[in-house]
Structure 1
């Protein structure tokens, strides 16, 4: 098996094991532990050692991992990569039970800007975090993944909706409740969850108190195309970048101060205690620095690369792109630009990245949204404005962003890993720009 094939195999395993941000962070934690990184407790004292790796987790859904370099951090700064752990999906409502015509359904909320039509007629699994009281009256939390088809959202037959192929809009309240079983009796979803927890080894569940659960497509990630040119999977936006960042961090040597931050809640604005607009990253970096002057000097010597997927030019809809800025799959990572600061790229940070790509023998592309279309955003501008660090926005080109199943090139993630590994090992991100 070639290095590329091995990389994509591990990537697919990571995607399949990460149906929610909670599971993605747990998978990253396991890989960091295996690589010798140590867990930190924010409530305790930190004794950080040169050349050692550490990580901390908040809410089970956001993670910061870092290595302490050889030289003082105020002299060298941090080489940082940022991504996000969340993806658009359907989340189960707190009181979801719907009993209609002998079918038991669960009401859902749409999380983020999901492309809804592809959710119909899929084999849906269910995963997330469940909080419960045990037999001793203690509050406990459990990760659960019902990795089998437990629900479906059936389409209405074409015979009953003759205009479906011409004008089909989705009403989330009416159209998206998920069918999970057939019964003439009323069912209690929390009771079903308690049984599921018991089947997963949690034998002490007295009562399920609350949950954060999401439906997801059970179809595993796959290599697609006659020559396997593509990788298809749910949640490529943005677990692809989380995995690339993690692989790059682990592949880099330990001489520089390196950071990977993967925040939750980007798809809904990042305004939370663990989102990029919250205090998590800054509080960690300030604690590493130790005092205000060291912090300020370190930030002045630092750089952030925000990694989030880019829109590849779709061969059927090429008019949706600016003619000079239509990234191709398998043609290299994409520098994302926007003059209205929806992306944080400037000419200095993009020039550094271009040099890194050249030295890594990796092609590089640019994306600018059409001037008559609105532009999305990333954690890049939020991080740049929060901590004042020079920032670049880049990403791997993809199709079908925010669909239940997205598509990326089979070579792009591997090549971006090469570039970010080299970035993590730069002697200076100031002299270079």
Structure 2
């Protein structure tokens, strides 16, 4: 029963988080409900023993941490890392396009989108708008149209006889969603202003100055399969890991200082002020341990679990896997290994994770990409390389990664949550 409740809450989180901004806002609400105190990077921090805190950057990245003890140089941190962004279509600044009797939107491809999966879907728009109020203030607000207001229609097979033999999609010409016919009046800035006024009735909007908006599929996440064995949803990569990590941090009062970091921009390399290849985590940890020597001591007594989805063996494409490293859905999280450091796992961090998983009777799988194929990466090597923390890369087995609808196991997430919750309680990681 517990895992059913867990999955219901997961589906709610996925549905309420169409963009990294909304995912961060969703996590903020959960943390506040559990008594976490929000910190501002602009203020002085007063951190107390037994405290629970969180801080956001750019409204799209978040760090939450607990401080049962304040001697971080001796205890280290139990860290869980994930990312808030997913591949998608984002609106261009001058997004309004009028062609051949239709009002459309110009879009940019964000990350490694599986483009053809976005065709013939019921799409909506969400994200952040920055505006000027009638009082002269510049402020930002999140919006979400929620209703399906756009679609990218496919081309009929009669006009593309090679469609089932494989075809490419031109993102400049063929991925522009249709909003309405040209007979209807349409002005994007007026539309955004109306949506702001709908969501924020007390907001006095002078003008929309700029926006960061994304398209998303309105079909809600669901448990699917004959026995509801699978979770089918947009943005499982990597909101699934964000949710699991958050619940682990919120589980029981941590015996050890524990930290969750969920950063934006992983899908495009993480190099930003709020990305894993930026200074966010280092800035926070150095404020908590300002002495340089104690900072290094604390990092070396820490461990990071970098959680990001893994490729399950697809029964229709089995040849894409190494036969000895072919994870199955609902058979446990996957330890990801790569000799070229595309993943940060080493024998020590893997052993600590295996030991914790064994205490929970949770299965462990392993993934290594075929030696004749390229390998993706995660925030794991970036974080480990930036601050020097011992790190393991893990992930829940997934089909259709970077599709508009991805598929994972309905049993895997709860099992990983229990392992990560135990990880936050772990006093000794390794004996040196």
TM-score, normalised to structure 1, is 0.98
Q: Distance in 1 between matches of 2:129 and 2:204?
A: 13
- Provide the residue aligned with 2:18 in structure 1: 19
- Provide the residue aligned with 1:417 in structure 2: 417
Provide the alpha-carbon RMSD of the alignment. Answer: 1.0
Q: Is 2:118 the partner of 1:156?
A: no
Q: What secondary structure does 1:92 align onto?
A: strand
Alignment of 1:142-291 (within 5 A): 142-184=141-183, 187-202=186-201, 203-291=203-291
- Provide the residue aligned with 1:336 in structure 2: 336
- CA-CA distance at 1:137 after TM superposition: 1.7
Q: Distance in 1 between matches of 2:96 and 2:40?
A: 38
Alignment of 1:5-404 (within 5 A): 5-70=4-69, 72-184=71-183, 187-202=186-201, 203-404=203-404
- CA-CA distance at 1:290 after TM superposition: 2.4
- CA-CA distance at 1:256 after TM superposition: 1.0
Q: What secondary structure does 2:172 align onto?
A: helix
- CA-CA distance at 1:254 after TM superposition: 3.0
Q: Please, which moves more after superposition, 343-352 or 42-51? A: 42-51
Deviations 1:273-307 (A, max 9, x none): 00000000011001111211221111111111100
Deviations 1:193-222 (A, max 9, x none): 111111212441111110000000000000
CA contact (8 A) 1:79 1:429 kept: no
CA contact (8 A) 2:333 2:395 kept: yes
Flag structure 2 segments of 5+ consecutive residues without an equivalent: none
Aligned residue pairs, count: 431
Q: Please, which moves more after superposition, 240-249 or 174-183? A: 174-183
Deviations 1:24-63 (A, max 9, x none): 0000000000000000011111111111110000000000
- CA-CA distance at 1:71 after TM superposition: 5.4
CA contact (8 A) 1:266 1:378 kept: yes
Q: After the TM superposition, which segments of 4 or more aligned residues of structure 1 sit over 6 Å from their partners?
A: none
- CA-CA distance at 1:380 after TM superposition: 0.3
Q: Distance in 2 between matches of 1:430 and 1:383?
A: 20
CA contact (8 A) 1:276 1:382 kept: yes
Q: Distance in 1 between matches of 2:84 and 2:149?
A: 24
Q: Distance in 1 between matches of 2:97 and 2:287?
A: 48
Q: What secondary structure does 1:351 align onto?
A: helix
- CA-CA distance at 1:429 after TM superposition: 1.8
- CA-CA distance at 1:70 after TM superposition: 2.4
Q: Distance in 1 between matches of 2:8 and 2:195?
A: 30
Q: What secondary structure does 2:297 align onto?
A: helix
Deviations 1:351-404 (A, max 9, x none): 111111110110000000000000000000000010011010001000000000
- CA-CA distance at 1:252 after TM superposition: 3.4
- CA-CA distance at 1:186 after TM superposition: 6.3
Q: Distance in 2 between matches of 1:97 and 1:144?
A: 18
- CA-CA distance at 1:87 after TM superposition: 0.1
CA contact (8 A) 1:99 1:186 kept: no
Q: Distance in 1 between matches of 2:51 and 2:361?
A: 30
Q: What secondary structure does 2:249 align onto?
A: helix
Q: Distance in 1 between matches of 2:119 and 2:220?
A: 17
CA contact (8 A) 1:354 1:364 kept: yes
Q: Distance in 1 between matches of 2:134 and 2:283?
A: 37
CA contact (8 A) 2:19 2:127 kept: yes
TM-score, normalised to structure 2, is 0.98
Q: Distance in 1 between matches of 2:143 and 2:317?
A: 39
Q: Distance in 1 between matches of 2:140 and 2:332?
A: 41
Do the aligned partners of residues 418 and 172 (structure 1) sit closer, same or farther apart at CA in structure 2, a change above 3 Å counting?
A: same
Flag structure 1 segments of 5+ consecutive residues without an equivalent: none
CA contact (8 A) 2:255 2:426 kept: no
